[in-house]
Amino acid sequence: MEEIKTFWLETMEMQEARWIVAITGLVVGVSVAFYFVKLFRDMAIGGGEDPTSYISEFQRLRDEGKLDDEEYARLSQAIPKPTPVKVANANDKLPRKLPGGLIPPDSRTNDEQDELPDFKPDEPDTDETVD
């Protein structure tokens, strides 16, 4: 045990070792503080559980007779239902015209694809000298 103490004291005489220990201690302290703040915050605001997880608790209370059917129906209607997320499929068709009147490239005719837009400058060319 005395050898470990001697080794530790000799190591801590080096400037770099003190910096490494200090930074490591700071990282550990911040991590522990973050964990406890998150733990107490979740306890204070209810843990952030999904509202649909309460349905089983309401069903149990109804089965025990502590909630009548009318109250259970009101509570189950008040809980928001999760909305299904529609995943885009590669076979889905694009709209014929996009917002702003743009036409998707795959639905253009050959004439439309070869056409270049006609851009007209709003201001005259400033490189020309006027006499």
**In the chain, alpha helices (H):** 2-11, 15-45, 55-63, 69-78, 110-114
pLDDT of residue 29: 97
The pLDDT tens digits for 102-116 are 655 555 555 555 565
Enter the tokens of residue 69.
């059917």
- Burial letters 45-66, b for 16+ CB under 10 A, else e: eeeeeeeeeeeeebeeebeeee
pLDDT of residue 18: 92
